[in-house]
Amino acid sequence: MMPLAKLSAALEVVDWKKNVSTFLADSKSAQALAEANLRIAIWTRQFETADHGNPALCFVREMQVAGQHVAVLISLSLYKPAAGSIRSMLESALYYSYFRCHPAELETLARGDGFYLEKREILDFHRDHTLNFVELQQKLGVISRMERWYGNVSSLVHGHIPGAWIEHKSVAEIKPIKATQDLAVKTFVEGESIVHRFFLCTVGKQLWDGFSIHAKKQLLAGLHGDEKKSLKLDPA
């Protein structure tokens, strides 16, 4: 059998529709994934309105698309590929928070001349230049959670843990694996929570006055009273 024929046969053996249906039948996982993506969408919409015209908004759109890809990949039982999109969601959020006020660096990045910005450099920027970032991120547990989470996801993306999030030995064997699915969903939801809290400490706080009242209430929902008090964000 020719290579293309073998590939076609393997892809056609997988019941992709059944994989999706099985995932959606797990209402708890599907709901968690949907709610996390909804909050990403709320942040995206508010940034596109409050920061209209900023060329760095491309990273916000990339963040939202990455979250959508996570939903697609997990529902298809493609857990390992989902790890890359999960990490991309957080990295895009970090890049937006930095490049929105660094247009020269953004132009250099767009030229593709080898310019690269590490996560550590972005966090250092916020430590030095974002008002009350150190205190707020400690209150909301941002950096400690981010460092641990990012390290774990990166180990998956780079293949440091062979076999992690992969339950099949061939394309034809791709099917839902509940334990791995739950882990992938949990990882995505935690990553979205970290992004959410990071925005509240940084660019979200800076642009808060340009957000809609409805969005403000949604973005503050679920925070503890002392966290809301520390952020000093008007809900209306």
DSSP state of 78: -
Is residue 91 a contact partner of residue 120, using CB atoms and an 8 Å limit? no
Q: Which two tokens stand for residue 136?
A: 């707020």
> What are phi and psi for residue 198, nearest 5 degrees?
-65, -45
pLDDT of 162 reads 82
Q: Model pTM greater than 0.75?
A: yes
Question: Are the C-beta atoms of 176 and 75 separated by less than 8 Å?
Answer: no
User: How far apart are alpha carbons 174 and 17 in whole angstroms?
Assistant: 12
Residue-by-residue pLDDT tens, the chain, 236 positions: 689 999 999 999 999 999 999 999 999 999 999 999 999 999 999 999 999 999 999 999 999 999 999 999 999 999 999 999 999 999 999 999 999 999 999 999 988 878 889 999 999 999 999 999 999 999 999 999 999 999 999 999 998 778 889 988 899 999 999 999 999 999 999 999 999 999 999 999 999 999 999 999 999 999 999 999 999 999 97
Q: How far, in Å, CA of 180 to CA of 167, rounded?
A: 8
In whole angstroms, give the CA distance from residue 115 to residue 217: 38
Q: What pLDDT, on a 0 to 100 scale, did the predictor assign at position 1?
A: 64
Half-sphere exposure of 157 (CA within 13 A, CB side): 14
CB 29 within 8 A of CB 189: no
Q: Which residues contact 221 (CB under 8 A, 6 or more apart)?
A: none
- Using the structure block, give the residue that is written with the tokens 């981010």: 146
pLDDT of residue 216: 98
pLDDT at 114: 81
d(CA 150, CA 226): 26
pLDDT value of residue 112: 82
d(CA 151, CA 174): 27
Q: Rounded CA gap, 128 and 130, in Å? A: 6
Three-state secondary structure readout of 141-162: CHHHHHHHHHHHHHHHHCCCCC
Q: How far apart are CA 89 and CA 163, in angstroms?
A: 23
HSE-up of 92 (CA within 13 Å, CB side)? Answer: 22
Contact 40, 204 (CB under 8 A): no
